[in-house]
Amino acid sequence: MTSADVNWTPPPCWYAPYLGAKDFKEKMSAEIEEAASAPGMTGTPAAAIGQTKAHYEDEYGWTDTPGYKDYNVAKDGEGMFWAGVENPNEPDFLKRNSCTDLPFWVDDGEAPPPQYEEAITPEILAALAYQHMELPGTEVTLAPAQTTKVNLPTWAWLDKADFHEVQATAAIDAPGFALTATTTAKPVSLRLEPGTPDAVTYPASGECTINDDGSIGEPYARGNADRTPPCGIKYLRSSGDGTFDLQATITWEITWTGTGGAGGDLPDGTFENGQAVTVQEIQSVNR
């Protein structure tokens, strides 16, 4: 099962709550001292480490980046330092490690400074939820099943019990900061591609829309042999010694809701699955 929607994905990294002031001081000061005492640490690297130490201890800052006094310990419990977080599903190492700004302080209840465009948001969480969402397969039920006949309409359907709305939730719950997003995938249509141009689809577009009860298509019932299926295929030639690769593609409508009333519509997701169909030549058919 693959997704045809490749444009809507979480970023390769983002900034998120990391540590409170006292815990950050303990960890960061140890890392700075270790780096400063490394063999051969001179010149520009040593100067950079010195600036980082001054940034957190002596209020040394840059444009739009104020410094801190004693790692902001006086405000411990009133906010958190935020730091870069890698997206473990990002295959590009450089992109995954591109959130390299120094950890920065955010007061409880306040938004991160605007220059940190990759700061975690409900929409990023929604993308993460979507990335880990497990959607049901798209193997349709056929009648006749697997082996059909030339010029015989083949009915296709998906049962509502196996084909339903799916939700996934992602959340961050840190002291003074909580963020949640729920992504919902709702099936809206099934597209059939026969695997050969020598076929007719029902409807002609090959797009079977969802029924009011949540199903797609209609199960074949005895006595319906003379009816045209609302969703199906008619093959016009046999598959010979092989099979035709029937592609069934489900379109899912994606929406999300998040903390603070955030939410909206997202690009549709399309997932496809192949089924081998044998088509036999026959002179007369009794159903």
Residue 145 pLDDT? 86
| Mean pLDDT, residues 254-273 taken together | 88
Residue 4 pLDDT? 38
| Mean pLDDT, residues 184-208 taken together | 93
| Higher-pLDDT residue of 178, 2 | 178
| Higher-pLDDT residue of 286, 159 | 159
DSSP 12-53: SEEEEEEE-HHHHHHHHHHHHHHHHTSTT--HHHHHHHHHHH
**Residue-wise pLDDT tens digits, 200-257:** 999 999 999 888 888 889 999 988 888 999 999 999 999 999 999 999 998 889 999 9
Instruction: Tell me the pTM.
Output: 0.71
| The pLDDT of residue 130 is above 80 | yes
**Residue-wise pLDDT tens digits, 81-129:** 999 999 988 899 999 999 999 999 999 988 899 999 999 999 889 988 8
Residue 233 pLDDT? 96
Please, which pLDDT band fits residue 161 given cuts at 50, 70 and 90? low
Residue 268 pLDDT? 87
Integer Cα distance of 99 and 12 in angstroms: 9
| The pLDDT of residue 5 is above 50 | no
Please, which pLDDT band fits residue 8 given cuts at 50, 70 and 90? low
- The SS3 call for residue 35 is helix
Q: Are strands 263-280 and 147-149 parallel, antiparallel or unpaired?
A: parallel
